[in-house]
Amino acid sequence: MPALPPHLTPDIWLDQIFTSGEARRGGVVKRQVRDVERLVGRAAFAGAVAARGYQAVENGRHFVVFCNAHPIRRVR
């Protein structure tokens, strides 16, 4: 696994996700599980999602974060 650049910390990585245009508009962001585990860890990621009042699901190799507090309803 390649080394992380020295300027990339878990806090910076999380901040980049949650300050993205899509997140600020209340949209959806997706990240690979392996990246989350490698860069910040599942617990820290889940805590950051919850602290913002967002919801996330894991599907296959991705986390999908709903950057709003609207209910999630499974269609099928």
Q: Which residues pair with 63 in a beta bridge?
A: 31, 58
Domain extent listing, the chain = 10-66
Closest by CA position to 41, among listed 27, 54, 31: 31
**Predicted pLDDT of residue 11:** 93
Neighbours of 23 (CB within 10 A): 19
Dihedral sign, CA of 67, 73, 71, 58? negative
Local confidence pLDDT in tens for the 76 residues of the chain: 566 677 889 999 999 999 999 999 999 999 999 999 999 999 999 999 999 999 999 999 999 999 999 999 999 9
- pTM of the shown model: 0.89
